Amino acid sequence: MAEQDLSSKVDDLKVTENAAEAVNDDDDDQVVDPWNVVTKSDKGVDYDKLIKRFGSTKIDQALLDRFEKVTGKPPHHLLKRGIFFSQRDMHQILNRYEAKKPFFLYTGRGPSSGSMHMGHLIPFMFTKWLQEIFDVPLVIQLTDDEKFLWKDLKAEQALKLSYENAKDIIALGFDKDKTFIFSDMEYIGSCPAFYRNMIKVQKCVTFNQVKGIFGFGDSDCIGKISFPSIQASPSFSNSFPHIFGDRKDIPCLIPCAIDQDPYFRMTRDVAPRLGYPKPALLHSTFFPALQGAQTKMSASDANSSIFLTDTPKQVKTKINKYAFSGGGTSVEEHREKGGNCDIDIAYQYLTFFLEDDERLQQIREEYSSGKMLTGELKKELIGILQKLVADHQEKRKTVTDELLKEFMTPRKLKWGGKDS
């Protein structure tokens, strides 16, 4: 036991150092933390540097091959294309799946606007696929408390945004019998087990550590200081007694963007000290703003992304007007030198939403050679996004308040995994 505690403390020192580097990034031109993603490179964030700094593991071909062998399904295109590029303990999750031992999925959303944008869809689209592949329960945390603490929002406004975002999430087609969506503002007060895990985490992390991990300052409100314990607690199965009873030995797999990793490095340090398994993670790259890959999108800037409430005309206008081009300054120059797919936003968006690998490769070759012009590339993207947004809007119309309540009511979920 003493040996395990020592190991945890060593991990904690590493976590604090690594996370502090993410906030106070002096050795290169990028800053990545849960609230800021900024880089001076036209190509966006250097993810290899993030892997090294955060201490995660790059998703390699061996893992993709094993994933296909274990599940019998080809990897999702977001995995094959390196959009989900980093992982922690994914092999252990595959071990459990092979052994028919249970695990669950956990992801979340910070509701800062009434409508989600395209970047918000990525983790949920991927999580839905994981749920279907593994046939496991899923919990989705809506951190309306976080947005109340960080944004100029009233508590009632933040809660209302949770409901609106939950409807967008449900419209993606999640299985109601296997999915529990919860608002922090509502669920924590009704679930003593969740609150007990929160305070257990709080007792394990000092003020100095949380400042080092998240960059909090002396003038930050105490709500911000304690919030990481709230985001950590859904990692533990006994935070959901209506699903798992009092079992504390069931691990979770968390698909999320890499900027959320500081929360879960902290969680992975604390978990062994509480007698819980460490959460496993799959990290995605960032979905870039229309204006370029140097920042991630902002829900407060309507022109930084395509929103799920946009009309077909708005989708077309935004792509044509704001999507940063990697093409030449003139048709003649573009025909001669070709376009740069590594910085072209229309092409980058296609890597997320065009599932046809052969078509994507064809577009890359034609654009890079100058055969395809920027306008033609954007037209390809516009057609895909217009259909995706329109289809989503139709599905969202079917999400009634009654269906929303069913998803957000604590209840038993169907799950097939059993300990052997």
Residue 299 has pLDDT above 80, yes or no: no
- 45 within 8 A of 30, measured Cβ to Cβ: yes
Q: List the beta bridge partners of residue 117.
A: 307
Alpha-carbon gap, residue 129 to 284, rounded angstroms: 15
pLDDT of residue 28: 57
Residue range 355-375, pLDDT digits in tens: 999 999 999 999 999 999 999
Residue 3 has pLDDT above 80, yes or no: no
Give me the sheet containing 292-296, strands edge to edge: 30-32, 37-39, 292-296, 288-289
Q: What SS3 class is residue 54?
A: helix
CATH class of 2-290: alpha beta
pLDDT of residue 15: 39
Residue 265 has pLDDT above 60, yes or no: yes
- 85 within 8 A of 284, measured Cβ to Cβ: yes
Residue 79 has pLDDT above 60, yes or no: yes
Residue 417 has pLDDT above 80, yes or no: no
Arch. (CATH architecture) of 300-396: Orthogonal Bundle (1.10)
pLDDT of residue 8: 30
Residue range 113-162, pLDDT digits in tens: 888 999 899 999 999 999 999 999 999 999 999 999 999 999 999 999 99
pLDDT band at 16 (very low <50, low <70, confident <90, very high): very low
Residue 22 has pLDDT above 50, yes or no: no
The residue extents of the domains of the chain are 2-290, 300-396
pLDDT mean over 228-241: 98
Give me the numbers of helices (H) and strands (E) for the chain, helices first please.
20, 11
- pTM for the whole thing? 0.90
Helix, strand, coil in percent for the chain, rounding step 5: 55, 10, 35
Residue 404 has pLDDT above 90, yes or no: yes
Structure tokens at 317: 């206008």
Q: What SS3 class is residue 284?
A: strand
pLDDT of residue 7: 31
Structure tokens at 174: 């999640």
Residue range 160-209, pLDDT digits in tens: 999 999 999 999 999 999 999 999 999 999 999 999 999 999 999 999 99
C-alpha torsion sign, points 402, 246, 192, 215: negative
Q: What is the DSSP string of 162-230?
A: HHHHHHHHHTT---GGGEEEEEHHHHGGG-HHHHHHHHHHHHHS-HHHHHHHH---TTS-HHHHHHHHH
Residue range 37-74, pLDDT digits in tens: 777 776 778 889 989 989 999 999 999 999 999 999 99
pLDDT mean over 231-242: 98
Residue range 316-352, pLDDT digits in tens: 999 999 999 999 889 999 999 999 999 999 999 999 9
Longest dimension (CA), the chain: 70
Q: Which residues of 253-264 are buried (b: 16+ CB within 10 A; e: fewer)?
A: bbbbbbbbbbbb
Residue 36 has pLDDT above 90, yes or no: no
Closest CA to 16 of 222, 224, 215, 234: 215
Alpha-carbon gap, residue 386 to 365, rounded angstroms: 24
Indicate the range of 223-227, 287-291, 310-314 predicted with least confidence: 287-291
Structure tokens at 298: 């902002």
pLDDT of residue 44: 75
Q: What is the DSSP string of 111-163?
A: --SSS-BHHHHHHHHHHHHHHHHHT--EEEEE-HHHHHHHSS--HHHHHHHHH
What stretch of H or E contains 273?
helix 261-274
Whole-number mean pLDDT of the chain?
A: 89
pLDDT mean over 295-305: 68
pLDDT mean over 17-23: 40
Q: How far is the CA of 329 from the CAs of 12, 315, 389, in angstroms? A: 50, 23, 31
Q: How far is the CA of 34 from the CAs of 37, 207, 231, in angstroms? A: 8, 18, 12
pLDDT of residue 294: 63
Residue 24 has pLDDT above 60, yes or no: no
Cα-based torsion angle of the residue sequence 355, 356, 362, 368 in order, rounded to the nearest 10 degrees: 10
pLDDT mean over 89-112: 96
The two domains 2-290 and 300-396 share their CATH topology (first three levels equal)? no
- 79 within 8 A of 60, measured Cβ to Cβ: no
